[in-house]
Amino acid sequence: MERKVRVRFAPSPTGPLHIGGVRTALYNYLFAKKHGGDFLLRVEDTDQTRYVKGAEDYILEALKWCGITPDEGVGVGGEYGPYRQSERKEAGIYKKYVDQLVESGNAYYAFDTSEELDQMRENLKAAGVAAPQYNANSRNSMKNSLTLSAEEVQKRLDAGEPHVVRVKIPRNEEIKFQDLIRGWVVVHSANLDDKVLFKSDGMPTYHMANVVDDYMMKITHVIRGEEWLPSGPLHVLLYRFLGWEDVMPEFAHLPLILKPDGHGKLSKRDGDRLGFPVFPIEWKAPDGEISSGYREAGYFSEAHINMLAFLGWNPGTPQEIFSLEGLTEAFTLERVGKSGAKFDPDKTKWFNEQYLRAKTNEELAQLVKPLVEEKGYTYSNDDFLASVCDLMKERATFVQDLLNDNYLFVAPTAYDEKTLRKKWKENTPSIINELRLILEGISDFNSTNIETEFKAFLERNELGFGAVLPGFRLLVTGAGMGPSMFDICSLLGKEETLARIDSGLNKVGQLKEALQNG
Ligand code: GLU
């Protein structure tokens, strides 16, 4: 029978979610939605030593900001809960399966102390073994239920002696599974060690809890980062040992996200060091240290998601802009690459620019409004803000960039020195004064009329743009460059434009003189 697609994102709350983790969540989400399935959020908190306060809340908030909404799991609930592994352990869920593995001879008790483990490693090193492990060879000389008598084992268990449970990796066997991204993965059992499944503190390890939970939560596809590929063979063995082979999920191991130069994995430490965030939202560590986030840097969450989707996947067409729904439709695991995807901070900005430009001026006006108010700028109405956004959006990456130039709100108090030096000539004031008369005579002061009159003025006086426009811009905006002057003047209105020319002519004249004398 076809099983309903069920996938999970299973982060460990050991710190903030790095964008690689968000991408894993996203691909899981897209795959689930594409197939009409369920997307679960499970918190894997079995390693108490690595638990970081605030990390779980951070994960929930980051996913929420990204619009990656779980159907089931922590923060949502569902019929396969609890979804936090620490709570599942409390409920005694794992113990029974560990016991089952010991009974069937696929796992065993090990009583070795840490000194004895160190000794074993040293002995093996001395004998020339490069990477000593607790495995099919070394286990025979250790203190475990394979080497001790049944009575001895029972005695130790009854006495409450600290012990772990280890998986008994079979000798001399090829373990195979098909990865949806990598194809066949074949590993010889001689390369695997007898991993601990159950710790002395009564907690299952990642491997045990992960497999048991995937089985119990009816997970059909395990989509996770490449760093978990080496765990694949052990997980496949556990499915077999527990008799769950017929419902074993399919595996898909996602490619790494690499540093911008392609050298090595993009790490949590790279972000602020290389000048861009590696976290979806800002993270404040328990010690107070702050790491920047995409949200706080001014990115739209849609742009962030769109960018992440392309780190390792492509639609096979030139289309680059996709909404979450569009991604859901286009996404397939077949189009996820095997090789690492280089993170490109410029492309990330490019995505944000596309989303900014796609917004209507009215939408942008609402976004820019609180910033305008924060700066204390006055403005007539929302239409004015919309026009400001229209004018500025071609040069902006973020909403806050729409206010990079403040001359649409306040008259200039400073004037671009380079323009003043190079473009302000002796005859500029008289040309501007004549232009002023023309402007004053325009009854309907809109961009088209201003442009028509301005051009006619140039023609009549046989002047080029370069002889008039820079000085004109300098007086009205204080800047050397910017969007269309006709649009700017029309937005400021006739009165303000003329006032700026009048007061500017004086100031600019004095500045020019000072420059010449200085
Ligand atoms: N808890 C693991 C992690 O932190 C989950 C790996 C998996 O998806 O199996 O990434």
Q: Which tens digit of pLDDT belongs to each residue from 159-183?
A: 999 999 999 999 999 999 999 999 9
> For tokens 């392609």, what's the residue?
262
* Cα–Cα distance for residue pair 220/333, rounded to 1 Å: 14
Q: Which tens digit of pLDDT belongs to each residue from 11-61?
A: 999 999 999 999 999 999 999 999 999 999 999 998 888 889 999 999 999
* Cα–Cα distance for residue pair 332/148, rounded to 1 Å: 51
Q: What is the mean pLDDT of the chain?
A: 96
What pTM did the predictor assign? Answer: 0.93
What is the Å distance from ligand 1's center to 22 Cα? Answer: 12
Which residue, among 317, 314, 283, 310, has the nearest Cα to 297 in the 3D structure? 283
Give the percent of the chain with pLDDT over 90.
94
* Cα–Cα distance for residue pair 324/343, rounded to 1 Å: 20
Q: Is 72 helix (H, G, I), strand (E, B) or coil?
A: strand
* Cα–Cα distance for residue pair 60/50, rounded to 1 Å: 18
Pocket test for ligand 1, best of 206, 213, 217, 253 (most atoms within 8 A of CB): 206
**Nearest ligand 1 atom, CA 21:** 10
Pocket flag, ligand 1, residue 377 (CB < 6 Å): no
Which residue, among 60, 58, 54, 19, has the nearest Cα to 41 in the 3D structure? 60
So what's the pLDDT on residue 273?
Answer: 84
Ramachandran assignment for 481, one of left (phi > 0), alpha (psi -120 to 50 degrees), beta (any other): beta
- Tell me the two tokens of residue 397: 């990456």
N- to C-terminal Cα separation, the chain: 88
For the chain, give percent helix, strand, coil, nearest 5. Answer: 50, 10, 40
Pocket flag, ligand 1, residue 224 (CB < 6 Å): yes
**Nearest ligand 1 atom, CA 9:** 8
Pocket flag, ligand 1, residue 11 (CB < 6 Å): yes
| Sign, Cα dihedral of 366, 371, 376, 377 | negative
Pocket flag, ligand 1, residue 44 (CB < 6 Å): yes
Question: 68 pLDDT band (50/70/90 cuts)?
Answer: very high
Q: Which tens digit of pLDDT belongs to each residue from 391-413?
A: 999 999 999 999 999 999 999 99
Question: 247 pLDDT band (50/70/90 cuts)?
Answer: very high
Q: Hey, how many other C-beta atoms are within 10 angstroms of the C-beta on 145?
A: 23
Task: Give the ranges where 292-381 is alpha helix by DSSP (H).
Answer: 294-297, 301-309, 324-330, 345-358, 361-375
With 0-12 / 13-18 / 19 or more C-beta atoms within 10 angstroms meaning exposed / middle / buried, residue 95 is middle
What is the Å distance from ligand 1's center to 212 Cα? Answer: 13
Q: Hey, how many other C-beta atoms are within 10 angstroms of the C-beta on 190?
A: 13
So what's the pLDDT on residue 201?
Answer: 87
- Tell me the two tokens of residue 398: 């973020």
Q: Hey, how many other C-beta atoms are within 10 angstroms of the C-beta on 410?
A: 12
Pocket flag, ligand 1, residue 47 (CB < 6 Å): no
Across 496-503, average pLDDT: 97
What is the Å distance from ligand 1's center to 25 Cα? Answer: 11
- Tell me the two tokens of residue 327: 């991604």
Is residue 132 within 8 Å of 119, Cβ to Cβ? Answer: no
- Tell me the two tokens of residue 298: 């001014």
Closest residue to atom 5 of ligand 1, CA basis: 10
Which residue, among 512, 515, 458, has the nearest Cα to 485 in the 3D structure? 458
Pocket flag, ligand 1, residue 228 (CB < 6 Å): yes
What is the Å distance from ligand 1's center to 420 Cα? Answer: 61
* Cα–Cα distance for residue pair 212/234, rounded to 1 Å: 13
Q: Is 312 helix (H, G, I), strand (E, B) or coil?
A: coil
What is the Å distance from ligand 1's center to 46 Cα? Answer: 11
* Cα–Cα distance for residue pair 240/248, rounded to 1 Å: 9
Q: Is the pLDDT of residue 144 over 90?
A: yes
Integer CA distances (angstroms), 148 to 5, 119, 417, in order: 45, 19, 87
Which residue, among 325, 324, 290, 101, has the nearest Cα to 211 in the 3D structure? 101
Is residue 74 within 8 Å of 107, Cβ to Cβ? Answer: no
Q: Which tens digit of pLDDT belongs to each residue from 48-64?
A: 888 899 999 999 999 99
What is the Å distance from ligand 1's center to 224 Cα? Answer: 7
Pocket test for ligand 1, best of 86, 224, 250 (most atoms within 8 A of CB): 224
Q: Could you list the active site residues?
A: 268
* Cα–Cα distance for residue pair 7/29, rounded to 1 Å: 8
* Cα–Cα distance for residue pair 76/38, rounded to 1 Å: 12
Q: Which tens digit of pLDDT belongs to each residue from 371-391?
A: 999 999 999 999 999 999 999
DSSP assignment, residue 403?
Answer: G
Q: Is the pLDDT of residue 518 over 80?
A: no
Q: Is the pLDDT of residue 369 over 90?
A: yes
> For tokens 């002061």, what's the residue?
445
**Nearest ligand 1 atom, CA 14:** 4
Q: Are strands 164-167 and 174-179 parallel, antiparallel or unpaired?
A: unpaired
Q: How many CA atoms lie within 13 A of 440 on its CB side?
A: 11
Pocket test for ligand 1, best of 210, 227, 239 (most atoms within 8 A of CB): 210
Q: Which tens digit of pLDDT belongs to each residue from 251-310?
A: 999 999 999 999 999 998 887 788 899 999 999 999 999 999 999 999 999 999 999 999
**Nearest ligand 1 atom, CA 210:** 9
Task: Give the ranges where 401-493 is alpha helix by DSSP (H).
Answer: 417-423, 428-440, 447-460, 465-477, 485-492
Q: DSSP string spanning 147-188?
A: TS-HHHHHHHHHTT---EEEE-PPSS-EEEEEETTTEEEEEE
What is the Å distance from ligand 1's center to 347 Cα? Answer: 28
